[in-house]
Amino acid sequence: MKVLVCVKQTFDTEAKIELKDGKISDAGINLIINPYDEVAVEGAIQLKEKGIASEVVVVSAGSDKAMDAIRTALAMGADRGILIKQDTGADEYARAVAIAEVIRSEDPNLVLAGHVAADDGSSQVPTRIAEILGWPHINVITSLEIADGKVRCSSEADGGSQVTEVKLPAVISCQVSWNEPRYPSMKGIMQAKKKPVATVDAVAVENKTRIIEYFLPQAKQAGVKVEGEPEECAAKLADFIKNTAKIEVKA
């Protein structure tokens, strides 16, 4: 069974965001695999280790810099990569179309991805890909089992969790609690350099959304800070909760 994993390169989650010429500045920012996609890579590699997957292909759409994300996934244990060269201004629609095109030619049995990217927080691309391909999908999974041409997953749901089964081929997006991604070993990093990565151009399609502007939140002013006896501090905090925030205390 062939598994294809979609990864996006994002800013380190500890990065401070700044604007330059009205755009998000990437100067001095450490770039990582989107943490949700990293979990998808780990999930795919585990399927290979269990003998369920025969090949793990990593796909990323973006600039040349996205090659680093692919190399990291290869160092973790994926077999080969495909970099889809695409303008970083592509929206969710354009990205989904570009990735789906590559998926069609690769014809995998299973597509894995993170359910959201830590940068734009859109949560759209995996579901859009499934629609383009006409495949079923399950989002925000926390476990996965494959049997009899079907995939069965637990997932987070509104107000609880659920177990859903769909037929393969399918697109599955994961929550970070699915697994604990491994660190690439030195051997893995060396091997990754020799693993093949193909580069293709993205299908040219127009965006369906337009960014008007970016802006930063207003800096919050620090308020009152009290130190001293716990009794006194707690009394002042209780007063703040009841009289300033106006929160009702349950009996």
Partner 1 sequence: MAGTWVFVEQRDGNVRKVTYEMISEAKKFGDEVCAVIFGKGIEGLAPQFAKYGADKVYVVEGDVFAQYNTGAFVAQMAAMIEEYKPNAVLFAHTFNGRDFASRLAQKLNAGLATDVIAAEISAGKGVFTRAIYAGKAFAKVEVTTQPILATVRAGVFEVKENPAAGEVIKPAVVATQANVYQNIIEFKPTVSARPELTEADVVVSGGRGCKGPEGIKLVEQLADLLGAAVGGSRAAIDSGWLGHEYQVGQTGKVVNPTLYIACGISGAIQHLAGMSSSKFITAINTDPEAPIFNVADFGVVGDLFKVIPVLCEELKK
C-beta of 51 vs 121, nearer to partner 1 = 121
Name the residue nearer to partner 1 (CB basis): 65 or 242: 242
CB of 221 to partner 1, least distance (A): 8
The two most distant CA atoms of the chain are separated, in Å, by 68
Closest CB 34 distance from partner 1, rounded Å: 10
Q: Residue 72 corresponds to which amino acid?
A: T
Q: How far, in whole angstroms, is CA 118 from its chain's centroid?
A: 6
Which residue number, 74 or 170, has a Cβ lying nearer to partner 1?
A: 170
Taking the CA atoms of 222, 226, 231 and 232 in sequence, report the sign of the dihedral they define.
negative
Residues 6+ apart with CB under 8 A from 129: 6, 96, 99, 100, 103, 111, 113, 171
C-alpha 44 chain-centroid distance: 14
Minimal distance in Å, beta carbon 70 to partner 1?
Answer: 21
Shortest spacing between CB 16 and partner 1, in angstroms: 6
The H or E element spanning position 235 is helix 230-239
Q: Is 75 helix (H, G, I), strand (E, B) or coil?
A: helix
Residue 182: closest CA among 75, 83, 97: 75
Q: Calculate ∠ Cα 158-164-169, nearest 5°.
A: 125
Q: How far is the CB of 58 from partner 1 (least distance, A)?
A: 20
Q: In this complex, which beta carbon is closest to partner 1, that of residue 26 or of residue 55?
A: 26
Nearer to partner 1, 36 or 62 (CB): 36
Element (H, E) at 207: none
Comparison of 204 and 241: residue with beta carbon closer to partner 1: 241
CB of 236 to partner 1, least distance (A): 8
